[in-house]
Amino acid sequence: MFGLGVAILASAAFTKVVQAQTVFAHFMVQNSYSYSQSDWATDIKAAQAIGIDGFALNIATETPNYEIAKMADAYAAAESLDFKLWISFDMTYNWAEADMVSLVTAHASSSAAYQWKGKPLVSTYAGESQGDSFWSSFKSTLSSAGIDIVLAPAFTTYRDPADASSLLSTFSSIDGFFNWWSWPADVNSLLTTDTDLAYKSAIAARGGPYIMAVSPWQFKNIDGAGDWVELSDTLWNYRWQQAVNDVKPDIVEIVTWNDYGESHYISDINPNVNLGSQAPLYVNGFDHSYWRDIAQYYIEYFKKGSAPAVTLDEVVFWYRAFPKGITCSSGTRPRNADFPADAVFALAMLAEPANVTVSIGSQTTTFYAGAGLTMGSVPFPTEDKQIPYVEIKRADNEVASGYGSVYVDQSGCTYYNMNPWVGRITAT
C-alpha cells in the first residue's frame, strides 16, 4: 500500500513537471499575401529555432480572400513541422458568425491545432463590443458541429485591474484571457504587472489559459492608421523578467512575429511583404532579428522555471537613428515622442563576468556584468553621424567587439522614425 501511494504521488508530480509552458507569437496573416507554403516553413523553422511552439494567426477579413487560403498553407506547413497554430480573429473587422465557424471547423482537427486541455483554442484581438451573446452563440454553433473550443480572447478594453471581475460577470462565454497590453499606456514610466496579475487570478476560475503578451517595442507612423510610440527602451528585457519571475502565465504570446507597421516584429524583414508606402520608411534597414537571441534565453527560462546558463558571450544592442527632438521633413511627430531616451541600449548575455563598454562619439559607458543578463546604456553624443562601438573585455583580453551599422544623425531626417535598429556582437 505504501509503495503504491508513493508511486501515485510521484506520477502526479511528474505530470505537473512535464506540462511544459507554451510560447506563441502573434502572426499577421495579412502580411502573408505573397507567401508560398515554403515561406511559412521558413518562418516556422526560425521560430522553432528559439523555442517558439506556435503562431497565433491574426486574421483580419471576414470575407473569403487570400488570408483564408494562406491560413490553409500555414496549417499544412505546421503539420509537417510539428508546430502549433491557433486562430486569432481580429474583431475590429466585421466578422459574421458563419464565416468564423467555417474557419474554425476547417482547421480544428488538424494535428497542428493547438489544444488547451484537449480542446482547440480560439483567440481574438478585441471582440468585447460584440457582446457575450455573440460569443456564446459562436461557441454553441461550433459545439453542435462537434467542436468544443476554448475561447481566450484579447478584450482590449479590459486593462484596468479593477475590471477583472466584471470581465467574468459580463462574459460567461470566455474560458481564458489574452492580455494584449504589453507596453506602458501612454505614460513615461515602466509597465507594471498589475493588469497581468489581476486577470490571471480572475480567469483561473474558468480553467482556461491566462495568455500574457510580451513585446519588444511599439512605434507606428502611418497617416490614417496612427502615429505613436510607447516607452520601450528596455521593455524586451524587463517584460520577459516579469513573465518568468512574477506573472508565470500559462502561455506567453510574443507580440509580434511580423507586425512591421507597429515596429514589434522579431522575424527577419521579409522583402516580399507589401507594407504600403509609409511603414517601409521606418522598417526597411531596421533589422530586429537579434532580439530573437534574447527571446531564446527567456523562452528557455520560462520553460525550465529557472535561469538557463549562458554559453556564448554576447551583447545585443539597439538604438534609434535620430534623437527625439529632431525635426523631420515628413511623417508625423508621434504621440509620446518625448518618452524614449536618446541612448544606445545594450543587453550583455555572458557566460562569465566581464566588463562591457558601449561608446558612441564622445560618449562612453563601461559596466561590469556578471554571468547572465545585464542591461546597460550610453547616451547619444552631440556630434553628428556617429556609430556605436561595443566591446566585451575579460581581465585584459577582448572577448568580442564590433560596431552598429546605422549612424545616429543629429542634423535632419526625412521621416519621423522611432523604430530601433538591433545589432549584436558575439565571441567567436
Q: Which of 353, 382, 403, 405 binds ligand NAG (CB under 6 A)?
A: 353
CA distance 114 to 125: 18
Residue matched to cell numbers 551583447: 315
Nearest residue to ligand NAG, using CB?
355
Nearest to 417 by CA among 289, 344, 323, 291: 323
Instruction: Provide the greatest CA pair distance for the chain.
Output: 80
Angle at 387 between CA 280 and CA 220, to 5 degrees: 25
Stretch that binds ligand NAG, among 257-265, 266-274, 351-359, 404-412 (CB under 6 A): 351-359
* 44 CB neighbour count, 10 Å cutoff: 24
Cell numbers representing residue 331 in the block: 511623417
Shortest Å, Cβ 41 to ligand NAG? 43
CA distance 407 to 361: 11
Question: Binding to ligand NAG by residue 368, rule CB under 6 A?
Answer: yes
Question: Binding to ligand NAG by residue 365, rule CB under 6 A?
Answer: no
**Please, which residues have CB within 8 angstroms of residue 258's CB and are 6 or more apart in sequence?**
27, 28, 31, 43, 265, 267, 270, 273
Cell numbers representing residue 35 in the block: 507567401
Question: Binding to ligand NAG by residue 370, rule CB under 6 A?
Answer: no
State which residue, 72 or 371, has the beta carbon closest to ligand NAG: 371
Q: Which residues pair with 122 in a beta bridge?
A: 87, 151
Question: Binding to ligand NAG by residue 355, rule CB under 6 A?
Answer: yes
Q: Which of 4, 18, 162, 395 binds ligand NAG (CB under 6 A)?
A: 395
Shortest Å, Cβ 398 to ligand NAG? 11
Stretch that binds ligand NAG, among 96-104, 335-343, 350-358, 377-385 (CB under 6 A): 350-358
Question: Binding to ligand NAG by residue 310, rule CB under 6 A?
Answer: no
Long-range pairs for 34-42: beta carbons < 8 A, 24 or more residues apart:
34/272, 34/273, 34/274, 35/70, 35/73, 35/272, 36/73, 37/73, 37/76, 37/77, 38/77, 39/270, 39/272, 40/73, 40/74, 40/76, 40/77, 40/78, 41/77, 41/80, 41/81
**Please, which residues have CB within 8 angstroms of residue 174's CB and are 6 or more apart in sequence?**
135, 151, 152, 153, 155, 167, 168, 203, 206, 208
Stretch that binds ligand NAG, among 55-63, 120-128, 196-204, 347-355 (CB under 6 A): 347-355
Shortest Å, Cβ 334 to ligand NAG? 39
Number of residues that bind ligand NAG (CB under 6 A): 6
Shortest Å, Cβ 394 to ligand NAG? 5
Question: Binding to ligand NAG by residue 401, rule CB under 6 A?
Answer: no
State which residue, 167 or 392, has the beta carbon closest to ligand NAG: 392
Stretch that binds ligand NAG, among 46-54, 294-302, 349-357, 414-422 (CB under 6 A): 349-357
State which residue, 353 or 412, has the beta carbon closest to ligand NAG: 353
Shortest Å, Cβ 369 to ligand NAG? 8
Contacting residues toward ligand NAG, per CB under 6 A = 353-355, 368, 394-395
